[in-house]
Amino acid sequence: MYEKEYSMINIENKKLNDNLTKEGDSDFETIPSEEEEVKNEEIDIKKLRNKFQKEISKINFNVVNCCENYAGNYDNYVFNSLKGIAEIRKVNFDFCELDPDYQKNMEKFDFSNFDKNKKNLVLDLDETLIHADFNERFPKNSYDKIIKFIPKDEDEEIEVGIFVRNGINEFFTQLSRFFNIIIFTASSSDYADAVIDYLDPEKKYIKLRLYRENCININDLTSIKDLRIIKNIDLAKTIIVDNSMYSFSNQLSNGILINSFYIDKNDHDLFNVMNYLLSYIIDCEDVREINENIFKFESILKQIKSK
C-alpha cells in the first residue's frame, strides 16, 4: 500500500512539474547544478576578461624603463612615469572587484595574524634589494651569491649571480622591529623564493611573499602591485618601496620610490629609506599623509591630468 501511495505521489508530482514547465509562469526556479554554476562562472569570467583587456588595450603610453630611475634623473623619471599612470587611470577599473583572478588571489593572503602594533613594509625585490645578472654581463667572482632554482614545469636547474644592495642586513634587522615586512615582486615564485631564502635564511624578517601572479599585468609592459590584495591590510599603516612607480600606481601615496640598484657597492639608498621610515613613519597616524606632503605624487598626477 505504501509503495503504491508513494508511486502515486511521484506521478502527481511529475504531472505538476510537467505543467509548470509547459506554462513557464511558475514562481519556482530551476536550481542549477554545481557543474552548471561553474560553467556559468567561467563564462562570466571570460566576458569580464575580454572587457578588461579591451579597455586596457586602449591605453597608449610609453613605459619609462626603470634604468632611467637613477640619482640625478629622479624628477624626470617621476614626471614621465606619472604621465603614463594618468593614461592607465583613464581605464577606471577597480581591479580588485573586476578582475576575477585578482579577486580570488585576495582570499589567499590574510594579514590578520600579523602584529597589529606594527606598520607594514612592502618591498620590491629586483633592482630594489638585489640585482640578478641574468645576462651574465659580469664575472662570476664579482657576485655576492650565485642563486640556483628550477623554473616551474622545467627539469633543468638555472644558476644566476646576484648583487645585494648595500645595508640590507641592517635594514631588515632595524625595520623588522617596527614593521611587518612583505616581499612583493613581479618575478616568478621559483626564482624569487631562492633569492629570499638567501636574504632571510632563518625566515626571521619576511612575513609574506607575493609574486608575479599577484600583480596586475598592463599590456605586458609593466605590472601594478595593488596593496589591497593583502586581505585586512590597513593602507593607513602600509608603505611600499619600489624602484618602479607603476608598481604602486594604484596607491601612490603609500609609495616610496627608490633609485634602481645594479652593482654599486657605495649605494646608500637603503639607509636613506630606513632613516626616513624611522624619522617620519613609525609614529604617524596615516603614512599617506606624510608621504604625500613630502613626495606629492598624487598632486603632480592631478596637475598632469588637468592639462
Query: What is the b/e burial string over 174-195, where b = at least 16 CB atoms within 10 angstroms of the residue's CB?
Result: bbbebbbbbbbbbbebebbbbb
Q: How far apart are CA 116 and CA 112, in angstroms?
A: 8
Cβ pair 85, 303 in contact under 8 A: no
Which of 18, 99, 126, 283 is an active site residue? Answer: 126
C-alpha cell recorded at residue 78? 617621476
CA dihedral of residues 109, 114, 119, 120 (deg, nearest 10): -30
- Is residue 273 within 8 A of residue 258, CB to CB? The reply is yes
27 is a catalytic site residue: no
Q: In what order do the strands lie in the sheet with 158-164?
A: 130-132, 158-164, 145-149
Catalytic annotation present for 155: no
Task: Give the span between the Cα atoms of 64 and 296, in whole angstroms.
Answer: 19
CA 31 – CA 241 distance, rounded (Å): 49
Q: Are strands 206-210 and 179-184 parallel, antiparallel or unpaired?
A: parallel
Question: What distances in angstroms separate CA 233 from CA 109, 113, 120, 228, one per listed residue?
Answer: 10, 11, 8, 7
Catalytic residue among 99, 124, 133, 242: 124
Catalytic positions, written as ranges = 124, 126
